[in-house]
Amino acid sequence: MKSFANKITLKGQLSRHDNTKAISDSWIGLAFYDKSYSHVNFGDSLKIREYVALGIPTVSDKTTPTSLEMVDRGAGIAVNEPWDALEPLLKLMSDDRLYETMTNKALDWAKSVDKEIIVNDLVKNYLDKYDQSNGVNKKIRV
């Protein structure tokens, strides 16, 4: 198991720039949280969202709502406790098809929650409703 341990690098606290670089050089994301802090149970995991934005499958605990959404979207695997992660990690490292599927699902999920797309869609829907309520026939493109 020594060779597996050599494949994990703990980076500690990084600047935003260094964090993005470290994530983009990663093959699998790890996202585990201290459950003793109650706010973690209600928070949105930026860490998981950063991984999926780069198409990186993630292994996480089931602490945050984001990790449950990640599983629903097929972009990663959630486990009960960090020590349960070994088998999913080994599976992702050895099953190219699973890895590729989760990579594609991660990118699909990231695209679906892209803020620019969401805002443009909201503005378009608002303008369409406004036009309809005022009897305006023209459509405004966003």
Structural domain spans, the chain: 2-112
- pTM value? 0.75
pLDDT for 125? 82
DSSP letter for each residue of 73-140: TTSEEEESSGGG-HHHHHHHHH-HHHHHHHHHHHHHHHHHT-HHHHHHHHHHHHHHHHHHHTT--PPP
pLDDT for 41? 67
Asked if residues 14 and 24 have their Cβ atoms less than 8 Å apart, the reply is no
Domain spanning 2-112: CATH 3.40.50.2000 = yes
pLDDT for 4? 62
pLDDT in tens, the chain (142 residues): 446 667 777 888 889 889 888 888 889 999 988 877 777 667 677 889 999 999 999 999 998 889 999 999 999 999 999 999 999 999 999 999 999 999 999 999 999 888 787 788 888 888 877 766 665 555 555 5
